[in-house]
Amino acid sequence: MSYMHVLSRFPAVKTAENKVMQACIDLVTKKREKRWRERALPDFVIVGGMKCGTSSLFNYLGQHPQLFGSSYKELRYFSHDEYYSKGEKWYRSHFPIMKNLPDGSLTFEASPDYLASPEAPERMEKLVPNTKIISLLRNPTERAISHYFHSIKKGWRQDEILNAMKVEDIIFKQRGLYKRQLETYYKLFPSENILVIGSEIFFENPAETLKEVYSFLGVDPDIEISDLSPKQVGFNREPVDAAVHEYLDDYYKTFNQELFDYIGRDFEWR
């Protein structure tokens, strides 16, 4: 039996491990805070969405010699009061020291819940008004289903999937109303500083998508990434009845078209 499988069967053990890990992170962060004024702020931020491939994108971009990610993914600084209250000193502590960065390099972070957070866009614009924004958007029907199985795995839900979709609007369905979530970013940041990518296109051909991202960021587009294996992929998904797809497809049909019209790009979520 694998170590991760043991942890999944004994939540108390996993909770204890998480506390130890968090304590270690806090110690390292405290040390890094001593030189916080020398550290960079992100040149671009991957804002989401959740269950749309942000872990893979964060990993791939970190392999580019000109791109340097935060000390760990999902800082959630702009979306969670718990972290935002720690201030810029805490946030900067997760980024490299500027003088140690090679010429032409960029720093970044990725927090999937920034997209759905009402507070994140304005907080981000206040601290890093010139940052670029990248958003991965997955077919909302598939995103909602993936999120459901993620919740099952975490032990947050036990109800049947169709009932969950009909009852739980905020967690599953509203996360897929992408136009509403993107509008604030487009109001606060120049449209040329925002890149919206279809997750399915990314999953199917990550190398080509990365070239688009490199062009958007202005870094060397000819870099080839050695490890393009998917990251943080859920393996607990079960077959889903057609009624679930029909319900969600019908729910999102109008919202999806509004999104495509708004961003001028059609991801063909049919």
The string of pLDDT tens digits covering residues 47-60 is: 999 889 999 999 99
CA distances from residue 39 to 53, 82, 95, 121, 127 in whole angstroms, order as listed: 28, 21, 6, 22, 14
Alpha helices in the chain (DSSP H): 3-9, 11-32, 54-61, 81-84, 87-92, 120-127, 140-154, 161-167, 178-188, 199-204, 206-217, 242-263
Rounded CA-CA distance 241/152 in Å is 17
Q: Average pLDDT in the 13-27 region?
A: 68
For the 41-67+103-263 domain, the top CATH level (class) is alpha beta
Give me the DSSP letters along 107-172.
Answer: EEEE-GGGTT-SSHHHHHHHH-TT-EEEEEE--HHHHHHHHHHHHHHHTS--S-HHHHHHH-IIII
- The answer to whether residue 1 scores a pLDDT higher than 80 is no
The domain segmentation of the chain, as residue ranges, is: 41-67+103-263
Total-model pTM: 0.87
Average pLDDT over residues 29-56: 94
pLDDT category, 263, cuts 50, 70, 90? very high
pLDDT in tens, 234-260: 555 678 899 999 999 999 999 999 999
Q: What pLDDT score does 26 carry?
A: 78
Q: pLDDT class for 6, splitting at 50, 70, 90?
A: very low
Q: What is the mean pLDDT of the chain?
A: 89
In one-letter notation, the amino acid at residue 222 is D
Lowest model confidence (mean pLDDT) among 92-106, 153-167, 193-207? 153-167
Residue 262 DSSP one-character state: H
Q: What local confidence, expressed as pLDDT, does residue 18 receive? A: 64
Sheet architecture: strand order including 106-110 = 67-69, 106-110, 44-48, 132-137, 194-198
